[in-house]
Each structure stands twice: as C-alpha cells, then as structure tokens.
C-alpha cells in the first residue's frame, strides 16, 4: 500500500518485484554504495545464474532457440543449422557479453546466411585498426587486396561508366580468386558487406567468369 506524492489517498497493489544485476550487491551495500534496507527488501529469494562460459551445455541450446526465432522473423522456410565448425566456435568462445551477446551473434549469422547451414560466425562486427571481427575457424582477417588492384589508367579512352564497370569487375574477379571463390571472404577483402558483394555479383553475372 502506498500514497502518491501530494496525495493522501492510499493505493493497494499486488505485485512481485524481480530484479537482476551483474554487480555484487552485498559488497556495494557494505561500501555504502547500495541501500542496505533496499537490499533486504529485494533479497526475499536470490538466484545465482553463472556466466554463459561456465555453463557451456546451454550454449547450443540457446543458439538454436535464437536461430529459430530469427528465422521466423525473417520468414525463412526452414531454420538454418550450425555446421560442426560453427557450433564448435560457439562453444569455445568466452562470451564476455553472456546471453545477450550470444543472441546478437546468432541473429547476425542467421541474417547473413543464404543456405540451410550456418558456416560463418562473426563474433565482433566492428572494424578497428587491428582488423575486423573474427569468424568461426579464423584467427585473422584475410589480407587486403594489393594496391596495384586499385590502379586506374586515366589515359584510357573508355567512357567513364564503362571504365568504372570494368574496374569493379576486375576487383571482384581478383577478390574471388584470392578468396578461392568463398564469397563472404571475398566481400571482406573488398571491405563490403556480404549483401553488397552479392548485389555486385548479380549485377555483372557472367562477366565475372569471362
């Protein structure tokens, strides 16, 4: 039972309060950084949930659950499965962000795949001066294309748009060759997303194999 600020009318409610934290509330209360009387009211029952890295038997169970939800949201006809290498990578990872990070990684993998089998897992999608995030089974990012690949002959008599198209086709061919025709790796070599790379491949079609 409580009264609103400025009111004298008591209001009776029937609620259950559930709180969650990754902080040590006992230590914070002892240091005077968390109200002890509030802690006493919240601690009617306390459940300790170990971090994901300490309950690895839950990783694939949760990963398949998140994959099924994401596939449903995207309207996929079937739920993509994790390859053995991808599943092993999920279980080896330390998961500093716990279940929330696992959810993001799995949803990203489902979104990026166009097949029934997920083979590529990206744990860190943010580029940095040290390279982009690691994929399953990879210890480092593929090497960038050589500077010569970007050389442009300004003396060419080709019309501008035709020259741009020829240049893009040459870059795509070289990236595919260096990545051994693994399209996701080729996209990474060019600094493109997988979907941008696929769009260019569809645009030029047979020209890439000529």
End-to-end CA distance of the chain: 78
> pLDDT at position 9, please?
93
Q: How many domains does the chain have?
A: 3
Q: Does residue 205 sit within a domain?
A: yes
Do 30 and 74 fall into the same domain?
Answer: no
User: E strands of 9-149, at which residues?
Assistant: 10-11, 81-82, 117-118
Cα(210)–Cα(149) distance, integer angstroms: 18
Angle in degrees, 0-180, between the axes of helices 194-204 and 183-190, rounded to the nearest 10: 100
Dist CA 98 CA 17 (whole Å): 23
Q: Do the beta carbons of residue 42 and residue 81 sit within 8 Å?
A: no
Does the residue 138 lie in any domain?
A: no
Residues 167 and 204 reside in one and the same domain: yes
Domain end point (choices 98, 118, 138):
118
Note down pLDDT in tens along the chain; length 210 residues.
Answer: 889 999 999 999 998 888 888 888 999 999 999 999 999 988 888 998 888 989 999 999 999 999 999 999 988 889 999 999 999 999 999 888 899 999 999 999 999 887 789 988 888 887 654 444 445 544 334 444 444 444 445 555 557 777 778 888 888 888 888 877 788 888 888 888 877 888 788 888 877 776
- The pTM is what? 0.52
Q: What is residue 145's DSSP assignment?
A: P
Same domain, 110 and 158: no
Question: What pLDDT score was predicted for residue 144?
Answer: 44
What whole-number distance in Å separates Cα of residue 182 and Cα of residue 48? Answer: 44
Q: Note the pLDDT of residue 16.
A: 87
Q: Which domain holds residue 31?
A: 2-42
Q: What is the CATH number of the domain that holds 67?
A: 1.10.8.60
> Is residue 187 a part of any domain in this protein?
yes
Whole-angstrom distance, CA of residue 122 vs CA of residue 110: 11
Q: How distant, in Å, are the alpha carbons of 184, 186, 201 from that of 197?
A: 8, 8, 6
Q: What is the C-alpha to C-alpha distance for residues 177 and 131, in angstroms, rounded to an integer? A: 21
Same domain, 38 and 71: no
- Here the tokens at position 10 are 């008591």
CATH number of the domain enclosing 166: 1.10.10
Q: Are residues 151 and 172 in the same domain?
A: yes
Whether 124 maps to a domain, the answer reads no
- Domain check: are 62 and 28 in the same one? no
Q: Does 126 reside within a domain?
A: no
Q: What is the pLDDT of residue 70?
A: 93
> Cα separation of 149 and 174, whole Å?
8
Residue 91 lies in a domain: yes
Task: Quote the distance between the C-alpha of residue 144 and its chain's center.
Answer: 22
pLDDT of 86 reads 92
Residue 139 lies in a domain: no
Looking at residue 167, its pLDDT comes to: 83
């Amino acid at each position: 039972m409580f009264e609103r600020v400025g009111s004298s009318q008591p209001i009776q409610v029937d609620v259950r309060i559930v709180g969650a934290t990754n902080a040590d509330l006992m230590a914070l209360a002892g240091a005077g950084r968390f109200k002890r009387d509030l802690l006493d009211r919240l601690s009617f029952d306390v459940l300790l949930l170990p971090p994901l890295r300490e309950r690895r038997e839950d990783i694939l169970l949760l990963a398949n659950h998140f994959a099924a939800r994401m596939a449903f949201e995207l309207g996929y006809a079937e739920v993509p499965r994790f390859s053995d290498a991808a599943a092993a990578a999920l279980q080896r990872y330390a998961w500093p962000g716990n279940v929330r990070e696992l959810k993001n990684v799995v949803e990203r993998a489902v979104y990026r795949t166009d097949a029934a089998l997920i083979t590529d897992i990206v744990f860190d999608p943010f580029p940095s001066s040290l390279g982009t995030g690691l994929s399953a089974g990879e210890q480092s990012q593929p090497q960038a294309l050589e500077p010569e690949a970007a050389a442009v002959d300004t003396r060419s008599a080709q019309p501008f748009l035709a020259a741009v198209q020829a240049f893009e086709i040459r870059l795509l061919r070289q990236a595919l060759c260096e990545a051994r025709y693994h399209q996701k790796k080729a996209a990474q070599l060019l600094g493109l997303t997988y979907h941008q790379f696929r769009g260019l491949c569809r645009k030029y079609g047979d020209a890439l194999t000529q």
